[in-house]
Structure 1
Amino acid sequence: MSPASGILLVDKPGGITSHDVVARTRRAFGTRKIGHAGTLDPMATGLLVLGIEGSTRLLTYLVGLDKTYETTIRLGSATTTDDAEGETVSTAGSDELAVVTDARIAEGVARLTGRISQVPSTFSAIKVDGKRAYDLARAGQDVELKSREVTISRFAVGAIRRSGDAIELDATIDCSSGTYIRALARDLGADLGVGGHLTMLRRTRIGPFDLADAHELDSLADGVPAPLDPAEVAGRVLGRLDVTADEARDLRHGKKLADQAARLGGDLAAAIDPDGVLVGIVERRGDALKSAMNMPEAAA
């Protein structure tokens, strides 16, 4: 019997890849049909959103959600990977660090808040000519990545700790999908003239999903938790559109709902039938509604 389709929130521990989390979840649920809505680096911890069985189709609509991170940035040295796992490439002296006041840090953070242009970290999963940037960088090749526009809606600095050779600051960051927090640490350090890199990263939110509701990875060995219902998830992310049984049948068969576009508040919505089952994701087509994605129908 196949496991229930749904969305599972998992708290990824440090030291393993996101693929490792998917592999362990596949074993726990006894299925290959599991995917994720955005990776975390091995060093990073926190929220991963997994799709199980037919709900893997929903992941397309979750990958672009905004995110929240808790992080620690170390000012005073730069690394090859922009995090603590890389080799140190530069260090600042105590005199250089001494002039990095709290006010200067605040000014640097302000320049990295809002809509900014960011060059992703060289050691990233972005593809260059069909190959991952981190593979090219590890092979000693020069990697030039294009800048991208991202939005940092909150860059809130908490504690600031100073020692002779470094300044560490804790920060909470709300950002758009595609933001590299490692690059923020690198760019803040470069702006302040002392170098910087990430020493801790924990993702605490993806869209409406919170880390507090996530399952510990080790707990999957004790039993398979019930995933979130796909109708609930899609409704929270895209908004809910209740459809009749006849409309659900037509949508599942690829038919348009004529003269119904006005029922849609946004660009997309989750079409949910009278039994509370997610039919699929609908979009406008002129004055009509049509399925942009249909969920697999349950076996009779």
Structure 2
Amino acid sequence: MTASEPAGVLLVDKPAGLTSHDVVARARRALGTRKVGHAGTLDPMATGLLVLGVGGATRLLTYVVGLGKTYEATIRLGITTTTDDAEGEVVAVARAAALRAIEDAAVHDGVALLTGAIQQVPSAVSAIKVDGRRAYDLVRAGQQVELTARAVTVSRFEVLAIRREEHAIDLDVVVDCSSGTYVRALARDLGAGLGVGGHLTRLRRTRIGRFDVADSAALDDIAVAGLRSPADAASAALPVFAVDAAEAVDLRHGRRLTGLAARLPGSPAAAIDPAGLLVGIVERRGDDVRSVVNMPEGPR
């Protein structure tokens, strides 16, 4: 990595109507580098936090993808769509009488059933691969897609507001969940459990781990000055393992730190040298510590 190549992590507030790849393309042009990736796709309809890795810091994204996330969303009960969100075609509309029969308590009971450690079948229109192809590509090609349920954790599923209309009930909600959770699927399953169907009409991601949308840049404000250093980003995503100068040299040269595993605050961890530079990502190997991702000496 040369001194002129930008490296770090950029937080972007994605607007509606763009894909995550669109945002990456804009960042590549704004930063003057092809080395840009993202951690955690957002649907075109969704807005909010997208974490971009730039330069050598793209190697940190694998440690960001698995972090817990927070979403703000609106669920519309009473209407079912092909995609479980507002971008799909309407396939069923509940009777007004069925909606009127749903009391607030029933909504909260349904939410409670979808809170905690649950088994969730992802939406068919998703980026999950089936036989090497994305599920959404198969669906658009007219194929029937059946995905397997997976274990996810919804640590918070809170209803902030309930708005009733003749043919729908809109719920404003906030969701804290593990990586791999589909809020669209929560909307679908809540509606199905209440017997009236449901889909997502609004989705905004506000947090990934310790990264917050409040600290993000607008799409038109992407600039090198907004990059968070690899050390800062890694310290936000992982426990910090402070190393001295000699240990930093050993790690950078691929040597293990013998017998130092007891010092690790967690595995993996971000190894930070006395100058505040990210040496790399380290893991426990028996009683030793070894580097699994080496970072070049560069910006802090």
* TM-score bin, normalised by smaller chain: over 0.9
1:7 aligns with: 9
Residue type at the aligned position of 1:65? L
How far apart are the structure 2 equivalents of 1:146 and 1:216? Answer: 36
> Residues 194-273 of structure 1: matches in 2 within 5 Å?
194-220=196-222, 223-273=223-273
2:285 aligns with: 285
How far apart are the structure 1 equivalents of 2:27 and 2:89? Answer: 33
Contact 2:217 / 2:226 at 8 angstroms: preserved in 1? no
Question: In the comparison of the two structures, how many residue pairs are matched?
Answer: 297
How far apart are the structure 2 equivalents of 1:224 and 1:58? Answer: 18
- What SS does structure 2 have at the residue aligned with 1:50? strand
Q: CA deviation at 1:240?
A: 1.3
Contact 1:2 / 1:31 at 8 angstroms: preserved in 2? no
How far apart are the structure 2 equivalents of 1:50 and 1:84? Answer: 26
- % identical equivalent positions: 67
- What SS does structure 1 have at the residue aligned with 2:40? coil
Q: 1:221-278 CA distances to partner (integer Å, 9 max, x unpaired)?
A: xx54331111122122212111111111110111011111110121221111121110
Using the size of structure 1 for normalisation, the TM-score is 0.97
- What SS does structure 2 have at the residue aligned with 1:169? strand
Instruction: Show structure 2 runs of 5+ residues with no match.
Output: none
- Equivalent of residue 115 in structure 1, options 77, 97, 117: 117
Contact 1:280 / 1:291 at 8 angstroms: preserved in 2? yes
Residue type at the aligned position of 1:130? G
> Residues 53-132 of structure 1: matches in 2 within 5 Å?
53-132=55-134
Q: 1:110-161 CA distances to partner (integer Å, 9 max, x unpaired)?
A: 0000000000001001111111111111111110101100000000101110
2:188 aligns with: 186
- What SS does structure 2 have at the residue aligned with 1:212? helix
How far apart are the structure 2 equivalents of 1:135 and 1:261? Answer: 45
How far apart are the structure 2 equivalents of 1:285 and 1:277? Answer: 23
Residue type at the aligned position of 1:264? L
Residue type at the aligned position of 1:242? A
Contact 2:277 / 2:297 at 8 angstroms: preserved in 1? no
1:28 aligns with: 30
Contact 1:3 / 1:29 at 8 angstroms: preserved in 2? no
How far apart are the structure 1 equivalents of 2:76 and 2:214? Answer: 27
Instruction: Say if 1:42 and 1:296 are closer, same or farther in 2 by CA, change over 3 A.
Output: same
The alignment's C-alpha RMSD in Å is: 1.2
How far apart are the structure 2 equivalents of 1:77 and 1:196? Answer: 5
Residue type at the aligned position of 2:120? Q
- Equivalent of residue 47 in structure 1, options 49, 52, 56: 49
Any runs of at least 4 consecutive aligned residues in structure 1 with deviations exceeding 4 A, and if so which? Answer: none
- What SS does structure 1 have at the residue aligned with 2:225? coil
Residue type at the aligned position of 1:4? P
> Residues 153-192 of structure 1: matches in 2 within 5 Å?
153-192=155-194
Residue type at the aligned position of 2:16? G
How far apart are the structure 1 equivalents of 2:6 and 2:29? Answer: 14
Q: 1:267-298 CA distances to partner (integer Å, 9 max, x unpaired)?
A: 22111112111000111111111112111334
